[in-house]
Amino acid sequence: MERSSIFIPTISTRILTALFVSIDDGSSMQTDQPFPKQGFAPLCPDESKPRVGMLFPNIEDGIAFYNNYAALVGFDTRKSTSTKSRDGVIVWQYVVCNREGRKNVSSMPRPLAQDREDSNPIPKKKRRCISNRIGCKARVTLRLSGNVGYSIVFFGEHHNHPMVSAPCRPFLKLNRNLDTGHKKFMLNCAKANIGTMKSYRLFKESVGGYDNVGATAVDFKNFKRDLKAYIAGGDAQIVIDKLFRKHETCSAFFFEYDVDESDQLTRLFWCDPVARKNYSLFGDVVSFDATYETNRYPGHGCTVARPLCSFNVYTIAQLSYTFMFKSDVLHLCRYNMIFAPFTGVDNHCKCVTFGAGLLTREDDESYAWLFRCFLNAMGNAPKCIITDQDPSLRGATQKAFPQTSHRYCMWHIMKKVGGKVDDELAKDSEFLTKLNAIVWSHYLEPIDFEKKWHDLMAAYNLDNHKWFQKLFEIRFSWIPAYYRDLFMGGLLRTTSRSESENSFFDDFTGQNFSLVELLMQFESAMDSQRHKNADLNADDEACYPEFKTPLDIEHHAASVYTITIFYEVQMEISAACFSCRVLHVDELDGQQIPDMYITSRWCKTRFIKPMYDVPDADFEALSAVEEKKIALNRLWSDLYYCVSAVEQKPDLLGGFSKIIRQQKDILEAALRSGVVNTQNSIFECYYGVPAPANITVLPPQPVHNKGSGKRIKSAKELSIEQSKKNKRMCRKCQQLGYHDSRNCPKNISG
């Protein structure tokens, strides 16, 4: 066999000489000058070029003039040496070209690392850095001229390098200034849970292209970094200060918090006046879901099919007292705290949030503390609460709500059946159909349920099955036959309500959020939720649904109930007309639904009667909106309209642009003469409170909770996940499968 030859290229002496650098005094190296020695004189209008003798009222104006000149012709600047008087006033200020000087490169050889296999020394990897320093002498010198201001005493116009070309000028630092408009835009995007890169692309579309952005994506990322650094170490303190300020502004705002012996935040609960008012109206629908991350079984982003909530005339008409508490196990990545919102159902059958809590632990004491805070805020305990089978929740409910009925979620129980029985029985459709018919029925009497349950267990040899025995022991807490008189709103038999709320909060939360970011996103989520509720209320006031019958009772139902609930009533009225076997009614004329059968909580908002009296809740303060915010919102609306209008009228573009620039100059002058609009002041405006001077509440320590990490999966779930993977060729057995040569079955058999 003929051996292949290997070509090793050689480098000429001329190329090596060009690559080498000269060494000065053995301590530093300087790059050879790659440009011609004659200077480059930038071309620009005379009025934009600095001149010796020019006078400026202050040093900032002098530096700004030179920076504008540099940005115009195509080079960057930086402030160099300055000399100050004894009073700290700058007397001399040098502003140089950004390519002045030379980069110092260490003459020490790179450290060597030992290769583990052959012990040969190899160079240690080092970050590659580029430099633009080539010893340019272009500069301007400003000197204090008595009480007149600052004058230019020297102007070095010539550079030893060409100017940056027009396509590359947007990348100059002078042209990458993040002004107040950029920062406000990014902060608004952050409030809407829009990431940095999406914010950058959105801003690009707003201004018409990357050249008009005035910054790079890295500048946007650096600003987000500074935003997070502003709250470093004071995250929990800023949250508490923010909540205190809300309470000072509106006394109806309620919050409580708890710290440990190290002054670290461990528990937090808050609710605003709107949430407290909503509880007084809708505090009767109930669920507590502590299985946030397992609801997406069996696949990523998928949910198991489940029965839907059903309504009829009886369930809508009966008086109901059920409360919904929901705790999504949504962990903050930084602290791994549990975000637990209290959620109910409004008169449109939509989720409504009553408050929220943050916990570091999922134990009996923490849940009881959270329930007590809720009770203090609302003044009334719920009539019923539905949870999963967590023992901590059982104990906490009994402590905080001793008079409250506690029920288990049927869907959480029934979804485990497939993993508790053998594979053959799990696939037996007849068994599952019979089990569902017994469990989900609202019409069985308790004695009938027990008989059918025992018959089914005996038919499939499950009499001694421990899991089914346990379910039968707790049948009073989850089987509908034992509390048919208690309205559940469909929540007992489905987690569609919980999953809907999980998805809702997913749009406003992220794993890397700090506490203050989570609080702000929660406020944005509440704004969205309440806006949708107001939209539905507007439809109720201005619109009527389509009728299916000419009956007065249907028209009366449309005038009383919300549109969402009316459709449920309409189905019953329609069925009564075409499927009913009742021949006539002796006592009622049937023109209207009797008042005794109308539940206020399903009516239109103006007809709802409060169920509870919420203590110390000044609901009149709910309509108070800051005048400044209203004026700013109107200004933004007018500005967007003007820009859109002038886009359609190009002949008006020049005049409109001139007016805007004049107003911009006036505002910039006012800002320079007044309060300095620093980055910290922008952050303070964004967070709503200044950075804490004294930190008394420390951020919590990261903890490991029940919902953290990986959970134990059933054999059925593992097989489903395995079946979704693509098979691959094993080099050991030469067969397609879900293994490779490392875990091939032949290795075990051999």
pLDDT digits 0-9 by tens, 107-162: 555 554 444 444 555 555 666 778 889 999 999 999 999 888 999 999 999 999 99
Q: What is the percent of the chain with per-residue pLDDT over 90, rounded to a whole number?
A: 31
Looking at residue 103, its pLDDT comes to: 80
Average pLDDT over residues 422-439: 90
Tens of pLDDT along 73-89? Answer: 999 999 999 999 988 99
* Beta-bridge partner residues of 406: 385
Report for 302-306, 592-596, 673-677: range of highest mean pLDDT: 592-596
Residue 410's pLDDT band, with cuts at 50, 70 and 90, is confident
Q: Is the model's pLDDT at 676 over the cut of 70?
A: no
pLDDT at 245 over 50: yes
50 contacts 65 by C-beta, under 8 angstroms: yes
pLDDT reported for residue 440:
86
Residue that wins the pLDDT comparison between 77 and 718: 77
- Write the DSSP string, 82-113: EEE-TTS-EEEEEEEETT-S---EE-SPPPEE
Residue 565 corresponds to which tokens in the numbers above?
């609930």
Residue 163 DSSP label: P
Q: Report pLDDT digits (tens) over 520-543.
A: 989 988 999 999 999 999 999 999
Predicted confidence at residue 510, as pLDDT, reads 67
**Residues contacting 425, CB < 8 A, separation 6+:** 431, 460
Q: Which residue has the higher pLDDT, 102 or 713?
A: 102
Nearest to 34 by CA among 134, 125, 102, 107: 134
How is 667-727 classified by DSSP, letter by letter? HHHHHHHSS---HHHHHHHHHSSPPPSS--SBPPPP---TTSSPPPPPHHHHHHHHHTSPP
Please state which of the ranges 236-240, 412-416, 653-657 shows the lowest mean pLDDT.
412-416
pLDDT at 428 over 70: yes
Instruction: Provide the pLDDT for residue 302.
Output: 33
Mean pLDDT is highest, among 191-200, 289-298, 718-727, for 191-200
DSSP-derived secondary structure letter, 195: -
Look at residue 308 and tell me whether its pLDDT is greater than 60: no
317: confidence class by pLDDT, cuts 50, 70, 90: very low
What burial letters (b/e) apply to 150-169, b meaning 16+ CB within 10 Å? bbbeebbbebbbebbeeeeb
- How much is the average pLDDT of 90-105? 90
* Pair of tokens at residue 739: 């293994």
Beta-carbon neighbour count of residue 745 at 10 Å? Answer: 13
Would you tell me how many other CB atoms lie within 10 Å of the CB of residue 284? Answer: 23
How high is the mean pLDDT of the chain?
79
Q: Which two tokens stand for residue 129?
A: 């850095």
What distance in Å separates the CA atoms of residue 481 and residue 450, rounded to the nearest whole number? 10
The CA distances from residue 600 to 29, 544, 596, 639, 733, in Å, are 84, 19, 10, 44, 70
Amino acid at 30: Q
Mean pLDDT of 376-381: 89
Amino acid of residue 239:
V
Report residue 566 as tokens.
Answer: 């009316």
pLDDT band at residue 446 under the 50/70/90 scheme: very high
Residue 385: the pLDDT is 80
For helices 180-191 and 515-542, give the axis angle rounded to 10 degrees.
70
- Mean pLDDT of all residues in 738-747: 78
Distance CA 328, CA 324 (A): 13
For 566-618, how does the pLDDT look when each residue is reduced to its tens digit (9 = 90+)? 999 999 888 888 776 666 666 666 788 888 888 888 999 888 888 877 766 66
Tell me which residue of 497, 70, 509 sits closest to 287, measured CA to CA: 497
pTM of the model: 0.74
Stretch 445-453: mean pLDDT: 93
In the predicted structure, residue 299 carries a pLDDT above the cut 90: no
Helix axes 196-207, 180-191, angle to 10 degrees: 130
Residue 338's φ and ψ, nearest 5 degrees, are -100, 125
Reduced to 3 states (helix: H, G, I; strand: E, B; else coil), residue 4 is coil
Q: Which residue in this structure is represented by tokens 């849970």?
A: 193
pLDDT of 539 reads 93
pLDDT band of residue 310 (cuts 50, 70, 90) is very low
Q: Looking at mean pLDDT, say which of 82-86, 320-324, 396-400, 712-716 comes out highest.
A: 82-86
**Is pLDDT above 50 for 10?**
no
Q: For the ranges 246-260, 324-338, 476-490, 617-631, which has the lowest average pLDDT?
A: 324-338
Q: Which residue has the higher pLDDT, 112 or 267?
A: 267
Locate 698 and state its tokens. Answer: 């420390």
